[in-house]
Amino acid sequence: MNSTRSSVTGSGPVVVGTDGSDHAMRAVRWAAGEAAARSRPLRIVYATGTSHGRLYLSPEDIQQIDGFAEDVLEEAAALARRLAPAVAVTTAVCEDETTACLLGEAGPDATIVVGSRGRGGFASLLLGSDSLRVAARSHVPVVVVPGSDDREPAGVVLAGARDERDKETLRVAACLAAREGVSLRVLSAWVFFENVGSMAAMSDGVGRLAADQATATARLVELVRKEFPDLTVTEHVVRAGSVSEVLVAATADADVIVIGSRRRSHSMGSPLGRVAHAVLHHAHCPVVVVPHP
């Protein structure tokens, strides 16, 4: 997606984390475009994590870490100002760990942007650790930008949707597509366990589930079409062995994918559902994670 035109709904600032790595600089590019599209300020943050290590760090160590952080922020801010000269850009060195820094800077109405990986300075923005925790804990949309996305634009915003909880997810995707002047593809993938029950029961169950899922998806899409009458919207209901595999494969032909965050109520495993976890790890394009109410 064009880095100067992307947009996610939200009235607050755009907050992006950086550690100076190539992945992080891609995130800064995306964030600058997001801020320009919404005419919102951009806040670039470097998390040093020194608040948890002061007992083991000398004043000289902290000074050196802070100096490196300032250099990284200066470079990131210069890039953002070149890409989006009308955007008000500010920077911050945060002494806390990555997730706390970004969530603290974001507030209630921001959009957070992170790279999928880092090089360790920004508390290792490695997907599965900090980026994943930010996406799991945030109450505002989080954009995870992959390390490499040099493909030609596909002209498609992809949205994963299953039920009524995905209304806001679909609306965010529609806003993105409408503002980019591209089409919206709504993909609803569902799984049926074929080893349960008799063949006759399975046949009836598959047909019933397929019809129910198609109806639910059509209902969601109709709401989008009413709000965005000029937007080209296509819907696809797919029976799949793996929902995550279907969504990840579809990202190869999309500029961005928008998914909802279905968070687990227990602490074991990933705090996000396994579908969101897999998409964040393997998507071929930026992933917008929209928290469910």
**pLDDT tens-digit map of 70-91:** 999 999 999 999 999 999 999 9
In DSSP notation, 231-249 reads S-EEEEEEE-S-HHHHHHH
- For residue 47, give the nearest of 88, 78, 15 by alpha carbon: 15
Q: Is the model's pLDDT at 271 over the cut of 80?
A: no
Looking at residue 268, the DSSP 8-state letter turns out to be S
Number of H helices, E strands in the chain: 8, 10
- Mean pLDDT over 267-276 rounds to 68
3-class SS of residue 190: strand
The CATH code belonging to domain 14-145 is: 3.40.50.620
Going across the sheet that includes 89-94, the strands are 89-94, 42-47, 14-17, 111-115, 142-145, 287-291, 256-261, 156-160, 183-190, 233-239
What does the pLDDT read at residue 119? Answer: 52
SS (H, E, C) 66-122: HHHHHHHHHHHHHHHHHHCCCCCEEEEEECCCHHHHHHHHHCCCCEEEEECCCCCCC
In this structure, are residues 243 and 193 in contact, taking their beta carbons and an 8 Å threshold?
A: no
pLDDT tens profile 214-226: 888 888 899 999 9
pLDDT digit string, tens, across residues 14-72? 999 999 888 899 999 999 999 999 899 999 999 998 887 677 788 888 888 899 999 99
**Class for the domain spanning 156-291:** alpha beta
pLDDT at position 200: 45
Mean pLDDT, rounded, of the chain: 84
Task: Considering the chain, tell me which residue range(s) the CATH 3.40.50.620 domain(s) occupy.
Answer: 14-145, 156-291
